[in-house]
Each structure stands twice: as structure tokens, then as C-alpha cells.
Amino acid sequence: MSQLPWHSLSLNPLAAFGILLTLGVIGGQIANRAGRLPAITGYVLTGLIIGPASLHLLNQELLSAADLFVNLALGLALFESGRRVDLHWLRVERTLLLTTLCYCLAVFAALCALLLQGGLGWQASSMMAALGMATSPIVILEMLRETRAEGQVSERLTTATALSSLLSVIVFAIALGSAHLQNQHSTEDGILSPAWLILGSSLLGLLAGLLAIALNRWLGSQQRQRQTVLLFGLIALLVGLSVMLNTLPSLALLVFGLATRNLRGGHTVSEPGLLSGSHFFFVAFFVAAGAQLAPQTLAAYWPLALSYLLLRSAIPMLCWWLLAPQNCLSRQRGLWLGLALNPLSGGSAVLVSMSTLALGPDAAAFTGTMMAVFVISELAGPLLTRLALRRAGDLPPED
Amino acid sequence: MLEFNNSTPLTLGVELELMIVNRRDYNLTRGSDDLLLLIDRQPHGYDIKPEITQGMIEIGTAIHQGSDTMLQELQGIRALLVSSAQKLNLGLAGGGSHPFQHWSEQQIYPKERYQLVSELYGYLAKQFTVYGQHIHIGCPDGDAAIRLSHYLARYIPHFIALSASSPFYQGMDTLFQTSRLTSVNAFPLSGCMPCVENWTQFNEYFQHMAGLGIVASMKDFYWDIRPKPEYGTVEIRICDTPLDIVTPTLLAAYAQMLAHRCLEDGWHDIQAAHYHTYNYNRFQACRFGFDGVLVDGAARQQTGLQEDLLSTLNALQPQARALNCEKELSLLRERALKRQSDSQWLRAIYRASGSLSEVVRRQSEHWMYGSNA
């Protein structure tokens, strides 16, 4: 009887995805009902419990196999986030653009100073600081969907999130190039790599946008369902191509979304919105993100991680508080908007793995600190965003 | 006892309910508070206020002698609204109903009266997220207001056809030229005023209804036409909010010409029999617009709505001259001849784009930046 299947039972990728989804939904509901926590926090906690750090129900190999769904979730979120950037609005409301630039650069400078002070090298510090500029599009979009938030804080939050992600990947690519140079890798790595990362990714995103608009027009106005399938296909293709061409998928997808929103004829490319159909992937994404967390890193790196997070929370709050009246907000709502920007970008984990190759001796400290940062941020971020949106008055009254 | 505050006869005012939409997918958004807050940061003196749900806003003009000065005021209000809406990334649009919003997603505006309406009417209150134009015509006294209210009932199908701009509702083409009135019909105190002959009788009716605990004020009547004693006016409430700011002034001019003829001729032919065909004719106008058929119960004959409208407009030449609104009369004739309606324009956009979101985007562009000609 030794050949019966349960004697050599091991999960395959599909079963792993099923577990991510099923346990994720159950965990999200428990967190919501028992602790009145956001469902996202429940998904992340579920991942943490079933992942390699705890019960080990999912190992690293299976998590890697589920990467397909995770990357697609990230792609959908980044595309949608790019579509939230309305260049027409930014031309009218320049203060919003300036405020975002201002707080992102302030966060970058402050984090650099902190990390240098904490003993990290210049390259590792600048890369970590670049990652700290970005707010997570996937968390923000999911929180807005879950809470049904609407209003000026939410509107500015989504735009600032997309812009901060754009800035973050650009600065990160430059920092990465500089790290290659400093560590005496080839000149190509140092100069061509950031140029390729930024220009190549942007070009890919732009081409995808133009293609989506052209194909949308060709399919015709009565083919909405096919247009939606096409868009899913293009997003998956762009994620895959970006990885194949060693560009930055996050930048390419943000540019893709931005292009379809702002180029002529792109307005109807995403109708009905993709977000309702993306929920499957988002749940899997958050559970997988939870499973990737490494709470043990907190033991060694918690002081630096905590300082990092406090600083990147305080600076946006201060900037938005100061510039709130110019942004048509009360000072209080400005403060809450700054807090709502708290969740750290979900795509950062990918960038962290890219950085380790370039950093040499600083790689261990860099990875350890970032992992400790993720543990706190993934759990606290959604909670803080919901609190901020509620206090800002953007949530509908409970029926 | 309701007191009718007399006003200068034939003076005009309009109120317009507008949609507030986001500029992402052009669905309704809870933007009224933010918009009002920003508008009120600057001194303006215009009448701009919230409505029953937070995706609506209402603007009202001052009292005007004619529609030309009314248009100037509407242009001023629009400029103020547009500059504020642009800063907040909001869209504003005319139209009788939002093509694809879902009523259950709407939020009642936190104001005592609206909360009471919501408690009493339940889901009907949220379904009342529809957008109309109200026209006020000044009356010398309550008796004249009652006569004028009955007189205008005959012409209600004309106003419906000329303003129809709600062919889509909850994501569907309703096949109606205006679907908005279906939402209004659900209220128990909608329809038309009872067949009272003068202000004293109206007061008796009102006291009776108040005594029964059915109404507390005139606001509780959702009639198509009602006297508005505190303003000293008759209020026509049947029109969809048009897609631009010129059409409301044309509709106001039409009401003014009809009122002029009623008051000048001393019309007093108030009969319950006139109302036998009221709902049928109203339905014909809602469903078919200019192509509807009107039934005249007394003459026992049917007439095409377009034909009836054109012959009425032709007969109003003397009133147009007296009120200096011949240009408005001519524009109304042109529209009636071409069967030009906002509903058709919206359907044409949908046919070309296949997107209701695109329909609202164009609606919004049209209201915010359309020409004044």
C-alpha cells in the first residue's frame, strides 16, 4: 500500500494558490469580525501563520510557484494606480504635484540621513530611502474598495500614491546604478543599467498603452467583455516582458496605466474597471506577502526599522499638514492624508532582491532591515490608512 | 393657514439640480460637501446648496424679469462652480438621471429634512437621486396661482419633451426619453394638484391633509406643478435638468409666455375632466418625446405632441413680443421642428462609444465648458 498518494503528499502550485485564497478569505473574515481589523491585515496574518516563518504549510518553493498570481496582482494594482493619475488635473492643481514631490524628497533625504547614521553605507541607504518614498498602490486601492472611501483625501491619496511609486522606482534605479559603480562592477552596469531600467520600462509601458488603445478601437465599442480580457492579457504580457527584458515591471505598469488614462481615446480602455475582477489576485497577493515576512529579523533590526517607519510616517503628515490649505483641505484632513500614505509599497520586496546583487557587503544589513520594516508596515499600514480615512471623513456612514 | 406672499407677476427664477461625478469613471461621487466648502471660501452671493444625496447639488437663480438676464446669472454660477470643481477633480453635469449609478450606493445628505424623508420613504429617498429643473413664475395672488397651476397642466407634455435628458437609468436604456419621472411617480404625494378652484379651497385642502397628519408643509407635495406660497410663485417641477445652461432659460421663457397668456386672458376653465387624460399624455411625452400622441378628452381627438407644441408656439407670438423673448420663441420652434432633444444626443454618444462612462464624460464636458449660444 506504500504507493497510495497520501504517503507522498506534497502541494502543487495550484493547490498552493487554492490555500492562499481559501485561508486568506477565512483569515480576513476572522480579523474583520473578531478584531474589527481591515481584511488585508487578516490576509497578511494568515500568510504569516501558514508561511515558512510559522506553520510552514507553504514553503518557499510553493510560494515561488504562486509568484505568477502575485505578480499579476501587483501588475493589476500598478496599472490601476497609473490610471488614477490625471495629468489634466495636475496641470490645474499644481500644488498637489508640488506637495507630493516635496514630501517624497523630504522622506528620501531624512531616511538617507537616518540610515547613514545607523551604520549603513551610502548605496544601501539611498536604495532603502528610495523604497521608503513609495506608498503601496495595492494596499491603498484595496483599502478604498473595502471601505468605500470617497472624497478629497481619497482622491489626493490615490494620485500621491501613484506619483510616489513613480518617483521611488526612478530614484531606486539611479541608486542601483550608483551602487554597481561603487562596487566596481562594469560601467555598463553602473550607467546603462539605470538608463535601461528607467527608459526601457517607460517605453514598454507607453507602447503597451498605445497598443491597448489601438486594439480597443479595433475591437469596437460593443465588445466590452473582450476589451476587458484583452486588457488582462496585456497586463500579464507586460509583467512577463518586463521580467524577461530585465526592466522594472512596476515602472512599466504605472506608465501603462498613466498612458491609457491620459492619451486620446484611452478613457474607455478600462471599462468596467478591472478592480472588481482583481480581488482574487489581491487576496492571494496579501497572503503570499504575509508568508514572505520574516519576523525573526525584528530581533536584530527593530530599532532601525522602527525609526525608519516613524520618520516616513511623520514627514508626509507634516508636509500635508503644512500645505493642506493650498490643497483645498483643512489642516486636520491634510494630517490624516499624510498618515493614510503610510503603507509601504508591495513591490518593494522585488526591488530588495534586485538590490542585494549590487550591494556587496552591505547586502545582509540592507535585507535584514528592510524585512523588519516590512513586518511592521504590512501589519500596521492598512490599519493606519483606514483610521486616517475614517478621521478624514471619507468613509460613508455605517448603515 | 397658508399665506400666499404676492410677487411681481411673470417674474422668473429657476433651480437646477446637478450631478457631481468623479473624473475617473464618471460615476456619481460624494462631492457636495467638499465643493460647497471650497465655493464658500470666496464671497459670491449665489444660491448654491446641497440636495438629498451627496452626489447632487442645487443651484438657483435670483428673480428675473426675462430669460436673458437669467442666462447671464447662470453663466456666472457656472464659472464659479467649474473653477472650484476643477480644483477638486470633480465633474458637474446636467441630465435628468445618471446613466449607470446604483441607487443603493448613494448617501443621504446629513440634513434633518433629508434624514426624515429617508426614514419615511426608505429606498425611495435614495432612488430620488434624479435631477430636475424647477421653474418659478411670479403670481399676483393665490387665486391667480391656482388658475395658472391648472392652466399649465395642459402643457406639461411640452415641457417634458423639450427637456428630456434621462434615457438611461441604472445602466440600461429605458427606451423612454425621460426616465426620471418614474422615480418621482413612486412617491404617494406625486402627480397633480387636486381640482381646487381658488386659494381658499386650496387652503382648506391643505389644512385637511395637515390635520390628517399626511403633510406638514408644501414641500411634502411632490406634484408636477405646485403653488409656492412663500415665494408667491407657481413652480413647474416636471423638467429634467437640461444638458446645457441655455435650455433652462428657453424653458423658463416658454413658461413665462404661457403664464402671460393665462393671466392676460383671465383663463378660468378649471375642470376635473381636463385631468382624465393627464397621466396618459404625460406618459406619452416621457416615453416618446416629440413623437408622442396627446389626447384631448373634451374634443375627443388625438394630436401629435410635436404638432401641438408647434401650434402653441405659433400662437404665442404676441406674448413673445410683449415679453421681449422672440429669440427664445424662435429657438424653441427650431428645436421642436428638428425634434432636437438631449436624450437623442446621449443615445448617439452611446451608440458610437458603447460606453455609459463616455456618455457622462461628454455630458459633463458639455455642461461645464459648452458654448452659451
- Residues of chain B contacting A227 with CB distance shorter than 8 Å: none
> Domain spanning A13-391: which CATH class is it, in words?
mainly alpha
A123-134: pLDDT as tens digits: 888 988 999 999
Task: Give the pLDDT score at A352.
Answer: 65
CA-nearest residue of chain A to B38?
A: A328
pLDDT of residue A188: 62
Specify the DSSP class assigned to residue A220: -
Per-residue pLDDT of chain B (373 residues; tens, 9 = 90+): 889 998 999 999 999 999 999 998 899 999 999 999 999 998 999 999 998 888 999 999 999 999 999 999 999 999 999 999 999 999 999 999 999 988 888 888 888 888 888 888 888 888 888 999 999 999 999 999 999 999 999 999 999 999 999 999 989 999 999 999 888 888 889 999 999 999 999 999 999 999 999 999 998 999 999 999 999 999 999 999 999 999 999 999 999 999 999 999 999 999 998 899 999 999 999 999 999 999 998 888 999 999 999 999 999 999 999 999 999 999 999 999 999 999 999 999 999 888 899 999 999 999 999 876 5
Tell me which residue in B30, B110, B357 faces A150 most closely, judged by beta carbons: B30
3-state SS record for chain B:
CCCCCCCCCCCEEEEEEEEEEECCCCCECCCHHHHHHHHCCCCCCCEEEECCECCEEEEECCCECCHHHHHHHHHHHHHHHHHHHHHCCEEEECCCECCCCCHHHCCECCCHHHHHHHHHHCHHHHHCCECEEEEEEECCCHHHHHHHHHHHHCCHHHHHHHHCCECEECCEECCCCECHHHHHHCCCCEECCCCCCCHHHHHHHHHHHHHCCCCCCHHHCEECEEEECCCCEEEEEEEECCCCCCHHHHHHHHHHHHHHHHHHHCCCCCCHHHHCCHHHHHHHHHHHHHHCEEEECCCCEEEEHHHHHHHHHHHCHHHHHHHCCHHHHHHHHHHHHHCCCHHHHHHHHHHHHCCHHHHHHHHHHHHHHCCCC
Please give the DSSP secondary-structure letter assigned to residue A86: -
The CA–CA distances, whole Å, from A305 to A344, A367, A373 equal 12, 11, 5
Has residue B7 been placed in a domain? Answer: no
B5 inside domain: no
What pLDDT is recorded for position A345?
74
The reply to whether residue A396 touches residue B86, judged by beta carbons under 8 angstroms, is no
Which chain B residues are within 8 Å of A152, Cβ to Cβ? 34, 88
Q: Cβ contacts (< 8 Å) between A140 and chain B: which residues?
A: none
- Does residue A361 register a pLDDT over 70? no
The pair phi, psi for residue A221, each rounded to 5°, is -70, -20
In this prediction, residue A355 carries a pLDDT of: 63
Distance from CA of A200 to the nearest CA of B (A): 28
Q: Is residue B323 part of a domain?
A: yes
The whole-number pLDDT of residue A185 equals 62
Q: Using alpha carbons only, give the angle B160, B163, B169 rounded to the nearest 5 degrees.
A: 85
Inspect the interface and report whether the beta carbons of B86 and A151 lie closer than 8 Å: no
Question: Across the interface, do A150 and B29 touch by the CB < 8 Å criterion?
Answer: yes
pLDDT of residue B85: 96
Tell me phi and psi for residue B108, to 5 degrees: -70, 135
Supply the pLDDT for residue A319. 97
Domain extents in chain A: 13-391
Query: Are A386 and A38 within 8 A, CB to CB?
Result: yes
- Name which residue leads in pLDDT, A347 or A180: A180
Report residue A226's pLDDT band, with 50, 70 and 90 as the boundaries. Answer: confident
**Confidence band for A62, pLDDT divided at 50, 70 and 90:** confident
Q: How many CB contacts within 8 angstroms connect chain A with chain B?
A: 57
Query: From A94, which residue of chain B is nearest by alpha-carbon distance?
Result: B87
CB contact under 8 A, A93 and B87: yes
Most A CBs within 10 Å: which of B38, B89, B102, B355, as the mutation test of the A interface? B89
Closest chain B residue to A397, measured at CA: B107
Query: Of B86, B88, B107, which has the smallest distance from its Cβ to A397's Cβ?
Result: B107
Of the pLDDT bands very low, low, confident and very high (cuts 50, 70, 90), residue A71 is: confident
Whether residue A268 and residue B353 make contact (CB cut-off 8 A), yes or no, is: yes
CATH code, domain with B324: 3.30.590.20
The answer to whether the peptide bond before residue B43 is cis (omega within 30 degrees of 0) is: no
Best mutation target, B34, B123, B351, B358, to test chain A (most A CBs within 10 A): B34
Cell digits for A94?
A: 499644481
Q: How many domains does chain B have?
A: 1
* Structural domain for B65, as ranges: 12-369
- Decide if A86 and B86 are in contact by the 8 Å CB cutoff: no
- Is A328 in Cβ contact with B88 (below 8 Å)? yes
